[in-house]
């Protein structure tokens, strides 16, 4: 065979195949890059264990090659099945995918200048060169050990066109060959641009993008099925994955991992909202190679998918939800996303579960449980469902009191909780509850001004006939953090816990009644209390009187004339005894009012 000319100067682009069978068959391939699928399929049918695709620049041209380590071809194979249209060596063999003997013609879909086929077996190699006008040359390529075949397309492409060609080749391999049952790699070498990639694996396990899935293997058929609801909360699909897989519904059909047909548009009865894939040697593509045959094997596969959705898939979701809720409660970002995805699936047909059976992660464990189902039973009547974005001292205190707080550490969890219980109110725990921590300093560190201030406030409230059991300083977490004072149940020196949790609405209602015998806690983080503490260092009587007035106004609203007069009377009273001013120990638990006779 005369050497092939490598110079391309002043040469016209290669014409398409002349009218005839080759041109007609090239036109049947809607995707011109389907030639990669056909060459990979040929390698698989030849028993290849590995198939390597390479796209690289040549001086003024581009070479795209597919190399397999299959059985190779003899001269009889080349001159017979390969070069005789519609004569296939696979005819009658159910283990072979390509039955029509026309797939190889697809190499002309990109209108290459020529196609080289190198093949070797039994110690001998052959080189076949196919031209765009359907002529060919075959020559003996000498001895060669092993077996295999390499098909190389030569095209004239500038660098911009090469980059686009490489991208489309990658996309075509991912579309057509990503579930192949053997190793397939792609490498790209842009010698002009000075970049190259290592071999990238194309083949990947048969799987679907879903929060949960079940796989059924029966004889030679594998079915994978899962819900589409919630999948948007999972990690983004890897680059190159076909977008069709991520539709609201998806169906994929494969033979030995090669794509026969995929759709997000065609709906099958009872499978809306379901993503599934079926791989079976009994499925075959149509003559046009762009769809799957709708035969008995196809409809049997659809029936099996429906069975999996109705039973095993729902059971798998119900079994895995508690584990996902526990992982979300542990604060793991991936766990929170996985739980949100499963939760949405559990609220959506066809995998919807009973809302009372759905577990939710808790911000803090309740009786040792990190998650709970049946939340409506735990918050009966008109009580709200409480949520928090993280675990802290407030949620821990609420949990100790048996009050569950749902952990919403994923953006979708709160909305899904509301969707699960549409009639319930959902409130933030930190807006509905507060944790009061009593501020107890050692006597030697106690501030004299604080002790005097607390004594004056206790006396002022007693004169105003709103006596309290004691007055203490505190810190507050959660709701009402800017409120100055809190009336909490308790009396005596040991009244009130060191910390306690309360519903904000109950605190406000209690303050409005100002019931006797309660302990008063002053919020040291309140601006009003902070100002009074600073003023008490100079004038505890004035500071205490003014703060007492402010506390009553905060609790009850505008003062009536009698309360106002009583507080003014205190302003004219002598200051606390000198010992308190010098920092002597105040009554345990805070200041308590001294006994007084009736105000005359």
Say what the pLDDT of residue 579 is.
43
Residues 280 and 368 in one domain: no
What are the two backbone dihedrals, phi and then psi, of residue 444, each rounded to the nearest 5 degrees? -70, -20
Residues 6+ apart with CB under 8 A from 50: 68, 69, 182, 183, 184, 185
Judged against a pLDDT cut of 70, whether residue 567 lies above it is answered with: no
**Is 14 inside any structural domain?**
no
Indicate if 71 and 184 belong to the same structural domain: yes
| Closest-CA residue to 212 (of 321, 135, 294, 287) | 321
Specify whether the CB–CB gap between 551 and 457 falls below 8 A.
yes
Q: Are residues 560 and 523 both part of a single domain?
A: yes
pLDDT of residue 378: 66
How far, in Å, CA of 65 to CA of 150, rounded? 7
Cα 579 to Cα 586: distance, rounded to the nearest angstrom: 10
Pick from 30-34, 247-251, 365-369, 409-413: least confident: 30-34
Given 154, 177, 201, the domain boundary residue is 201
Predicted confidence (pLDDT) per residue in 131-167, tens digit: 878 788 999 999 999 999 999 999 999 989 999 999 9
- Per residue in 413-430, pLDDT (tens digit) is 999 999 999 988 999 999
Tokens 């003899």 sit at which residue?
74
Q: Please tell me whether residues 252 and 104 are part of one structural domain.
A: no
Neighbours of 142 (CB within 10 A): 11
| Same-domain status, 439 and 425 | no
Q: Each residue of 177-218: pLDDT tens digit?
A: 999 999 999 999 998 777 777 899 999 999 999 999 999 999
Work out the angle between the directed axes of helices 540-556 and 448-463 (0-180°, nearest 10).
Answer: 50
Residue 565 and residue 466 share a domain: yes
Q: Which of 310, 330, 358 is the endpoint of a domain?
A: 310
H/E segment holding residue 279: strand 274-279
Cα of 231 vs its chain's centroid, Å: 7
Distance CA 174, CA 58 (A): 25
**396 and 489: one domain?**
no
Q: In the structure encoding, which two tokens stand for residue 131, read together? A: 């031209």
Q: What is the mean pLDDT of the chain?
A: 84
Q: Exposed/middle/buried for 217, CB within 10 Å: 0-12, 13-18, 19+?
A: exposed
Determine the Cα–Cα distance for residues 553 and 530; give it in Å rounded to an integer: 17
Within-domain flag for 552: yes
Are 283 and 346 in a shared domain? no
Distance between CA atoms of 223 and 277, rounded to whole angstroms? 6
- Whether residue 101 is predicted with pLDDT greater than 80 in this model: the reply is no
Phi, psi of 477 (to 5 degrees): -120, 140
- Give the Cα-Cα-Cα angle 64, 70, 75 (nearest 5 degrees): 85
Instruction: Between 166 and 238, name the one with better pLDDT.
Output: 166
Quote the domain boundaries for residue 479.
435-581
Q: CATH number for the domain including 504?
A: 1.20.120
> Which of 391, 413, 432 is the endpoint of a domain?
432
11 falls within a domain:
no
Three-class HEC string of 414-426 = HHHHHHHCCCCCE
Q: What is the domain count for the chain?
A: 4
| Tokens matching residue 151 | 């098909």
Q: Do residues 84 and 132 share a domain?
A: yes
Q: Is residue 568 part of a domain?
A: yes
Q: Which of 275, 58, 246 is nearest to 165 (CA)?
A: 58
Same domain? 181 vs 62: yes
Residue 209 lies in a domain: no
Q: Which helix (H) or strand (E) holds 120?
A: strand 114-121
Domain assignment present for 44: yes
Spatial distance between the Cα atoms of 503 and 516, rounded to a whole number of angstroms: 20
Decide: helix, strand or coil at residue 424: coil
- Which residues are CB-neighbours of 533 under 8 A, at least 6 positions away? 449, 450, 453, 524, 543
Rounded CA gap, 570 and 401, in Å? 41
Would the pLDDT of 309 be above 80?
yes
Q: What is the mean pLDDT of residues 81-91?
A: 53
Is position 589 within any domain? no
What is the CATH classification number for the domain harbouring 153?
A: 3.30.565.10
Residue 269 domain-assigned (yes or no) = yes
Same domain for 424 and 446, yes or no, is no
Same domain, 155 and 65: yes
The tokens for 522 are: 């002053």
Strand 183-190 to 50-58 pairing: parallel
């Amino acid at each position: 065979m005369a050497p092939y000319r490598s110079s391309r100067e002043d040469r016209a682009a290669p014409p398409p195949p002349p009218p005839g069978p080759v041109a007609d068959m090239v036109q049947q391939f809607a995707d011109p890059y389907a030639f990669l699928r056909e060459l990979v399929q040929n390698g698989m049918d030849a028993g290849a264990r590995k198939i390597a695709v390479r796209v690289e620049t040549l001086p003024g041209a581009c070479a795209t090659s597919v190399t397999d380590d299959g059985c190779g071809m003899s001269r009889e194979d080349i001159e017979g099945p390969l070069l005789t249209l519609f004569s296939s060596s696979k005819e009658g063999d159910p283990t072979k995918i390509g039955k029509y003997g026309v797939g190889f013609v697809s190499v002309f879909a990109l209108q290459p200048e020529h196609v080289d086929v190198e093949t070797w077996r039994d110690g001998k190699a052959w080189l076949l060169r196919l031209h765009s006008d359907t002529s060919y040359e075959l020559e003996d390529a000498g001895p060669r050990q092993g077996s295999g075949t390499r098909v190389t397309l030569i095209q004239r492409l500038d660098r911009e066109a090469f980059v686009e060609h490489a991208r489309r080749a990658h996309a075509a391999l991912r579309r057509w060959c990503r579930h192949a049952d053997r190793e397939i790699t792609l490498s790209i070498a842009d010698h002009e641009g000075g970049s190259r990639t290592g071999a990238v694996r194309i083949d990947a396990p048969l799987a679907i993008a879903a929060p949960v899935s079940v796989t059924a293997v029966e004889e030679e058929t594998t079915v994978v099925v899962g819900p589409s609801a919630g999948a948007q909360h999972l990690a983004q699909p890897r680059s190159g994955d076909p977008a069709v897989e991520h539709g609201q519904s998806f169906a994929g059909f494969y033979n030995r991992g090669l794509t026969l047909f995929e759709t997000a548009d065609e709906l099958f009865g009872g499978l809306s909202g379901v993503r599934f894939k079926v791989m079976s040697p009994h499925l075959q593509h149509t003559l046009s190679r762009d769809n799957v045959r709708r035969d008995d094997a196809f409809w049997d596969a659809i029936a099996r998918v429906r069975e999996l959705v109705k039973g095993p898939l729902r059971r798998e979701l119900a079994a895995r939800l508690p584990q996902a809720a526990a992982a979300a409660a542990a604060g793991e970002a991936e766990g929170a996303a996985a739980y949100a995805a499963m939760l949405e699936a559990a609220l959506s047909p066809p995998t919807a579960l009973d809302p009372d059976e759905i577990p939710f992660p808790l911000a803090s464990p309740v009786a040792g449980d990190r998650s709970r189902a049946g939340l409506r039973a735990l918050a009966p009547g008109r009580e709200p469902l409480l949520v928090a974005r993280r675990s802290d001292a407030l949620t821990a205190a609420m949990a100790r009191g048996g009050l569950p707080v749902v952990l919403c550490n994923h953006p979708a969890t709160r909305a899904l909780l509301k969707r699960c219980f549409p009639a319930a109110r959902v409130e933030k725990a930190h807006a509905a509850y507060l944790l009061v921590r009593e501020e107890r300093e050692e006597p030697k560190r106690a501030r004299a001004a604080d002790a005097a201030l607390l004594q004056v406030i206790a006396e002022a409230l007693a004169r105003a006939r709103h006596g309290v059991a004691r007055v203490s300083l505190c810190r507050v977490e959660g709701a009402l953090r800017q409120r100055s004072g809190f009336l909490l149940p308790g009396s005596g020196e040991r009244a009130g816990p060191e910390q306690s949790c309360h519903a904000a609405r109950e605190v406000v209602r209690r303050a409005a009644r100002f019931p006797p015998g309660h302990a008063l806690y002053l919020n040291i983080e309140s601006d009003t209390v902070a100002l009074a503490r600073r003023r008490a260092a100079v004038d505890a009587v004035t500071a205490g009187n003014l703060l007492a007035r402010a506390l009553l106004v905060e609790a009850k609203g505008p003062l009536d004339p009698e309360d106002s007069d009583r507080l003014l009377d205190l302003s004219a009273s002598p200051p606390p005894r000198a010992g308190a001013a010098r920092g002597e120990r105040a009554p345990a638990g805070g200041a308590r009012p001294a006994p007084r006779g009736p105000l005359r």
